[in-house]
Structure 1
């Protein structure tokens, strides 16, 4: 009875991880492709990973600031590029995570689940780091009430990545409790080498 409950729990965990992976992928796709990486998208202000446009009161229109002019305003060039690299790398990793989860489920080995755990942890760390670095660099021009759907999608993707990471860690602990497939019993293991 206990083994049946554990198998059922693992099955539910696997399917929920796949749904979380699909959700995080589509949220990242929405934020970075549909919203073009903009975390503020208003008629008088557009701030994102590739756009930095502020309202020009003299001309009465939205004026986009060049990358080189951002450095004069106190935004670090290296930090901005690093933030872009981190966040857009997560989009690529999120596209592979469902396949890693399926491969780990089919192989059902500790090593495959550990690889999945590392990729999910790296994705969560890169997204948090990239978004945090970008917000730190542009905080002067950002008000919390102006954050758009792109930011909400990135925050949602971060939450889903953390849930996937937790689920993969739980699956790995379940896998460690049960001896792996094909692992020899303690009686059949070769003796330890003596030097």
Structure 2
């Protein structure tokens, strides 16, 4: 039950950060930096100016790395959703060879999310201060921690089951 709760909570946190907050890791009046928004303050126009992908190379941001970061950050939601379904339907009926998925799925999802965050931050780090990061960023970090706790919990439960046999 604890793994199911952590999986649902990590999904909710990712949903909040990536969909409700639109993946904006920095959301301030003078800049909005997210997986789909790269908006910086334009002094001349005195307004927030959003950049399109063809403009990114001019400011040393690789659009291909941003696309890879988007893929890596959004993919774990799919894996965790299937993981929740997998746990809820097969909690006590798992055969030994399928139990490995209980800890591999959250480790894989956490790795993807971490890679996505690091790739994105590596591209926009010049415009970010730590204090600029929004609640969406914190939600993704907490989701990452929850996925690692899921994996640790599953791994420990599997070791205990193995010792009982």
TM over 0.5: yes
Aligned to 2:48: 62
TM-score (norm 1): 0.81
2:24 is matched with which residue: 38, 42, 49?
A: 38
Tell me whether 1:131 sits opposite 2:117 in the alignment.
yes
Structure 1 equivalent of residue 76 of structure 2: 90
CA distance in 1, matches of 2:163, 2:89: 20
Aligned length: 165
Q: What residue number does 2:159 align with?
A: 173
CA distance in 2: counterparts of 1:175 and 1:110, whole angstroms:
10
Q: Does 1:81 align with 2:62?
A: no
- Provide structure 2 residue ranges, at least 5 long, that are not aligned to the other structure: none
Q: CA RMSD in A?
A: 1.2
Larger Rg, first or second structure (1 or 2): 1
Which structure's relative contact order is higher, taking Cα pairs within 8 Å and 6+ residues apart?
2
Quote the residue 2:132 is aligned against. Answer: 146
Residue 117, structure 1, aligned to residue 103, structure 2? yes
**Contact 1:104–1:113 (CA<8 Å) still a contact in 2?**
no
